[in-house]
Amino acid sequence: MVTTYNNVLYQTDNGIGMITLNRPKALNALNSGLLKELDSLLDEIAQDDNVKVVIITGSGDKAFVAGADISEMQSMSALAGRTFGKFGQAIFSKLENIPQPVIAAVNGFALGGGCELAMACDIRIASEKAKFGQPEVSLGIVPGFGGTQRLSRLIGKGRAKELLYTADIVDAQEAYRLGLVNIIAPADELISTAKALAEKILSRAQVPVQLCKAAVNTGMDTDLESGIAYEAEVFGLCFATADQKEGMTAFVGKRKPNFTGK
């Protein structure tokens, strides 16, 4: 299946949904049009049980996403800015919380809203050409699509504050060292690396994969006791699945499991 929006390309293949943000002339900057399409597409994906893993990348060889669209924001009032920020935040929270794991394949600049988008994904793979940063203070604003919150949660508040206050842009190696990216791949192997990771996830039992995502996300936003209690519930739920019986029967029988996603 191929769905074409104006600013977003979407293809599915064998359980993998591939989103390509497609405004290459503006380095895939996030304008309202692109954000609205991404919002609709995420609703579509969240309801599609055939899609098990999502990969998100940028079109062209230069940028993942060079940020929110500066031309569109240039003349915004404070109230319009807040509305735009809340809109982007809601979409990134939706992305963070769709049932399926999401892999960001960062093919170039991931700045401002681009870095924030990558951070709303579950796992980040960076091309060795990728560059990351939150340069908002050099534009007279703060990050508005979750950057002040997700960056500090991901890399710790000291390092996050340094990047936020300086507007420094870091390369893939430094992003890896900071814990901002999971894997670095050669540029021409970025998508195949993301697909290989997606296929590895696809080979596992899908109900617990999705429950792991829900449990980590729920736990990160609450206290340890509540997170642990949530984990006990989803752990128990797994024993109601056919894949739990299959996984453990296969282990005991010394064979590979044949998961059905049920």
**Is residue 58 within 8 Å of 25, Cβ to Cβ?**
no
Does the protein bind ligand CAA through residue 68 (CB under 6 A)? yes
Indicate the SS3 state at residue 236: helix
Does the protein bind ligand CAA through residue 69 (CB under 6 A)? yes
- Applying CB under 6 A, the span of 23-31, 33-41, 185-193, 230-238 interacting with ligand CAA comes to 23-31
Does the protein bind ligand CAA through residue 170 (CB under 6 A)? no
Distance CA 166, CA 214 (A): 34
Distance CA 92, CA 184 (A): 23
Which position among 29, 51, 190, 211 is part of the footprint of ligand CAA (CB under 6 A)?
Answer: 29
CB of 138 to ligand CAA, least distance (A): 7
Residue 116 is a catalytic residue: yes
Nearest to 95 by CA among 32, 33, 36, 46: 46
Does the protein bind ligand CAA through residue 58 (CB under 6 A)? no
Distance CA 136, CA 114 (A): 12
Nearest to 26 by CA among 7, 4, 39: 7
Which position among 64, 145, 176, 259 is part of the footprint of ligand CAA (CB under 6 A)?
Answer: 145
- Applying CB under 6 A, the span of 46-54, 69-77, 178-186, 199-207 interacting with ligand CAA comes to 69-77
Contact residues for 262 (Cβ-Cβ < 8 A; gap 6+): 207, 241, 242, 243
CB of 102 to ligand CAA, least distance (A): 19
Q: Which of 37, 116, 174, 233 is catalytic?
A: 116
**Is residue 117 within 8 Å of 103, Cβ to Cβ?**
no
CB of 192 to ligand CAA, least distance (A): 25
Residues belonging to the active site: 116, 136
Binding residues vs ligand CAA (CB under 6 A): 26-27, 29, 66-71, 88, 109, 111-113, 116, 135-136, 139, 143-145, 147
